[in-house]
Amino acid sequence: MLRPAYRVTVGDRVVDTTAEPRASTLVELTVRLDMDTPADEVTYVQGQVGGLRAVPGDDLTVELGYADEDGDLRRVLTGTVHTVEPGLRTERVVGLSRADALLRTYVDRTFEDGTAGDVVRSLAQTAGVDVARVEDGPALSAYVVDGRRSASRHIRDLAWLAGFDTYLDPDGAVVFEAFTGSRSVHVLKHGEHVLAAEQWRSRPRAGAVQVVGDSPGSSRGDESWAWLTKDVGPRHGTAGQGTPTLLVERWVLRTARVAQATATALADAFTAASLGVRVRIQGRPQVLLGDLVRLERFPERSGVDRLDGNYQVRAVTHRLSKADGLLTDLVLRSLAGAAAAAVPTPGGAP
């Protein structure tokens, strides 16, 4: 029988239950990781006696796993203590990932003749956050980072325009990249791995996307990127079909090529986001944001899309409690077309 275990490090203080699982004063621990939120979060509630003392600003890491697996725990979050709430019998501690540093960083800077990735690397360095994987993305003739918005907001805006995913990995380093099929694949089978599942389908935010820049650069040469144009008709990007049409106007999209790439990325993202699945499984801390999940052996139901297929992990919640043990909830986005075809075939179930 697997015995859930954890290791929480706050500053230079450590609680490790791999050797003595019953020695913990922890009542509940929850780690929430989500691509669509500015910062990931950990919350733990512990008894007042023998607990892990925490002070806002302390460095914080959380590792989860099972005591039976030779103490091989997986790190799931790196960050800092944000809030400490002492009570009469218990104390509640909330920590945020290193994305909190990006949320607290405001700078004024202009970038010329670079890429979206160049801007992201510079902002991460300014915030003191490591970089894991940052792709270049679209070329930007100019991009202004203004102090009215945080570094986090600028990075997320650039990811939206590029059609990229952006989040922090378990070590607290920035990821800014396009989705590809070269990811870890976790096979989850109905009746074997999945404890609960639910599916949702919603109308896409838009059927078609039209992106308009503000420059004649594509017809007057690269040096004309700073000019304004009177006629945007020949210099815009469109993708998708149906209604409504989302109009995106961004001065930073100075060429028709970049505008078209942005339109395609947004239309694809809206379509993918319209079908998703939530599943609950026995705790599996090795499942990371951006990973691939293949659902198998789910029964067909009349009038409902079959759950079998390939998905991208968009959100992960790990819950550890003395009553329920370690559980993992996943929010999955359906993959279709070329993205699904790129998913490698795993050698077997994990």
DSSP line for 222-265: GGGTTS--S--TTSEEEEE-SSPEEEEE-TT--SHHHHHHHHHH
348 within a domain of the structure (yes/no):
no
Q: Are 221 and 245 in contact (CB under 8 A)?
A: no
Residue 237 phi, psi (nearest 5): -120, 140
Which residue range is the domain that position 170 belongs to? Answer: 101-177
Q: What is the pLDDT of residue 260?
A: 79
Q: Are residues 238 and 190 both part of a single domain?
A: no
Cβ-based neighbour number of residue 66 at 10 Å: 22
Q: Are residues 86 and 135 both part of a single domain?
A: no
Q: Are 196 and 279 in contact (CB under 8 A)?
A: yes
Q: What is the pLDDT of residue 235?
A: 60
In our burial notation (b when 16+ CB lie closer than 10 A, e otherwise), range 266-297 reads bbbbbbbeebbbebebebbbebbbbbbbbbee
Q: What is the pLDDT of residue 222?
A: 52
Q: What is the CATH number of the domain that holds 47?
A: 2.30.300.10
Q: Are residues 329 and 193 both part of a single domain?
A: yes
Which has the closest alpha carbon to 280: 213, 210, 329?
A: 329
Reading the block at residue 80, the tokens are 């800092």
Reading the block at residue 116, the tokens are 């979206």
18 within a domain of the structure (yes/no):
yes
Q: Are residues 189 and 324 both part of a single domain?
A: yes
Q: Are residues 217 and 137 both part of a single domain?
A: no
- Please list the pLDDT of the chain residue by residue as tens digits (350 residues): 678 899 999 999 888 887 665 556 788 999 999 999 999 999 999 887 767 889 999 999 999 999 875 668 999 999 999 999 998 888 999 999 999 999 999 999 999 889 999 999 999 999 999 999 999 998 888 889 999 999 999 999 999 888 899 999 999 999 999 987 667 899 999 989 999 999 888 778 788 888 876 654 445 555 554 555 555 555 678 888 888 888 887 767 767 777 778 888 888 777 777 778 999 999 999 999 999 999 999 888 755 677 889 999 999 999 998 888 999 999 999 885 444 444 554 444 34
Domain endpoint, select from 79, 96, 113: 96
Domain endpoint, select from 42, 74, 96: 96
282 within a domain of the structure (yes/no):
yes
- DSSP strand pairing (275-282 vs 292-296): unpaired
218 within a domain of the structure (yes/no):
yes
Residue 100 phi, psi (nearest 5): -60, -35
Q: Are residues 25 and 87 both part of a single domain?
A: yes
Domain endpoint, select from 49, 64, 96: 96
Beta-carbon contacts of 341 under 8 Å, excluding residues fewer than 6 positions away, are 181
Q: What is the pLDDT of residue 302?
A: 59
Number of domain units in the chain: 4
Q: What is the pTM of this model?
A: 0.85
Q: What is the pLDDT of residue 312?
A: 93
349 within a domain of the structure (yes/no):
no
Q: Are 168 and 174 in contact (CB under 8 A)?
A: yes
Q: Are residues 264 and 291 both part of a single domain?
A: no
Q: Are residues 215 and 155 both part of a single domain?
A: no
Q: Are residues 255 and 240 both part of a single domain?
A: yes
Can you say how many angstroms the Cα of residue 120 is from the centroid of all Cα atoms in its chain?
15
Spatial separation of the C-alpha atoms in residues 97 and 82, rounded to whole Å: 10
76 within a domain of the structure (yes/no):
yes
8 within a domain of the structure (yes/no):
yes
Burial class (CB in 10 A: 0-12, 13-18, 19+), 34: middle
Spatial separation of the C-alpha atoms in residues 267 and 259, rounded to whole Å: 12
Q: Are residues 160 and 142 both part of a single domain?
A: yes
Q: What is the CATH number of the domain that holds 168?
A: 3.55.50.10
Q: Are residues 120 and 34 both part of a single domain?
A: no
Q: Are 295 and 190 in contact (CB under 8 A)?
A: yes
Cβ-based neighbour number of residue 161 at 10 Å: 23
Cβ-based neighbour number of residue 185 at 10 Å: 16
Q: Are 291 and 313 in contact (CB under 8 A)?
A: yes
346 within a domain of the structure (yes/no):
no
The CA R_g of the chain, rounded to the nearest whole Å, is 23
Q: What is the pLDDT of residue 19?
A: 67
Q: Are residues 92 and 30 both part of a single domain?
A: yes
